[in-house]
Amino acid sequence: MVAMVGANLEEVRALAAAFDRSAAQLNQTSAKVRNGIQISAWVGPFAVRFRHTWDSEHSVKLRQAANALTAQAKQLRAEADQQERASRAVTGATGVRTGGTTAPRTGTDTRSLLGTSPNPDGGDGDGVRIQKVRGADGVVRVIVHIRGTEFFGDAQGKHSVGENVLAAMGQDNATQTMIEEKLERAGVGRDDHVLFVGYSQGGLHAQNLARSGNYGDAVVITRGSPEVAGGMGPYDVLRFEVEGDIVVERLAAFDAANGLVRAVGGGGSGTDLVVRGGAGAEPRSWVDHVGFLGREASIHMGASVAFYQQLADDFDRSTSPEARLLQDRIKPFLDAQVLEDSDPE
């Protein structure tokens, strides 16, 4: 490994981040072109030749360039880390917080973002957790966790079942207003890199907040949550779903319409990836015994975080173009130093 004598570590890590972004853009462009040239309306010998050339030559070169950028970014970070360790050894720096405790970090994989319960909240009761984190590239980003439905609402009347329809239709509602106000107090806005993670109703709020355009080029992860009316446009979303869940099977009123819009080339060019699996047939609660709809409602309420985390592991192992693009989008939020946490565990 080549030593970087006197190198500015933030600049080196910023360069690594730029390489990662460029790699992600190349992969995204390749996926978009690949999908675009498959339209049935484009026929004839030229179309056939171009599709063949794209698959055998052009896309290969783009993938090789993206892989080279990713590898160089990894090398730059490793060299920056090596120099930082050497500097600490010389100066005696410990890399700990005031008071002697090691600064916490986010997890190293997608499953770590899914929390420890269907309603991740560190304890202040508003169902929203905001974390500001610094990645290996030195860039500060924001992770926002949003809980699901509380049937009669929480102590402040938020997250009630009645807000599901408003959120699904993209209409203003009290819970989303509360989240926007909390983000504003935290200083989160258009210039930030934001990852929204939402369960059930929280996934609806996450989608609406991201596509509002008020939080930069936001990315979304949902669990057990349907699509919002009108789709996500240019914003990227990763959806984890359980087969038989009443919300994603019967209450996802806008999924088909949004899919039709995407099929004809409308609705933006964001990546919308669904990772789905079955959670087993065992009863989960008393609701499970109230007919087939009770069974489906029980799946929604009882599907364990562990199962969703298995789906997250499947996603992390996937090599599809859509998965790779989303992996690149999520990666900067992983193994990052936590600078601020509205609800520390």
The domain segmentation of the chain, as residue ranges, is: 9-91, 110-341
Look at 233 and 103; give whichever has higher pLDDT: 233
Q: How confident is the model at residue 281 (pLDDT cuts 50, 70, 90)?
A: very low
Mean pLDDT of 27-42: 84
State what percent of residues in the chain have pLDDT above 90. Answer: 26
Beta pairing partners, 196: 144, 220
| Concatenated DSSP letters of 224-254 | S--PPTT--TT-EEEEEEETT-HHHHTS-TT
Query: Considering the entire predicted model, what is its pTM?
Result: 0.65
Residue 294 has pLDDT above 60, yes or no: no
**Which amino acid, one-letter code, is at 245?**
D
* SS3 category, 168: helix
Mean pLDDT of 140-147: 93
Residue 34: exposure state from Cβ atoms within 10 A (0-12, 13-18, ≥19): middle
Residue 123 has pLDDT above 60, yes or no: no
Which residue bears the tokens 């099929």? 263
* Cβ contacts of 170 within 8 Å, gap of 6 or more: 208, 228, 229, 230
Q: Using an 8 Å Cβ cutoff, are 345 and 122 in contact?
A: yes
pLDDT the model gives residue 142: 95
Other C-beta atoms closer than 10 Å to the C-beta of 237 total 26
| Concatenated DSSP letters of 185-204 | HTT--TTS-EEEEEETHHHH
Annotate 267-276 with b (16+ C-beta within 10 A) or e (fewer). beebbbbebe
* Cβ contacts of 150 within 8 Å, gap of 6 or more: 127, 158, 159, 160
Q: 9-91, what's its fold?
A: Helix Hairpins (1.10.287)
Q: How confident is the model at residue 91 (pLDDT cuts 50, 70, 90)?
A: very low
Look at 345 and 251; give whichever has higher pLDDT: 345
**Which amino acid, one-letter code, is at 301?**
M
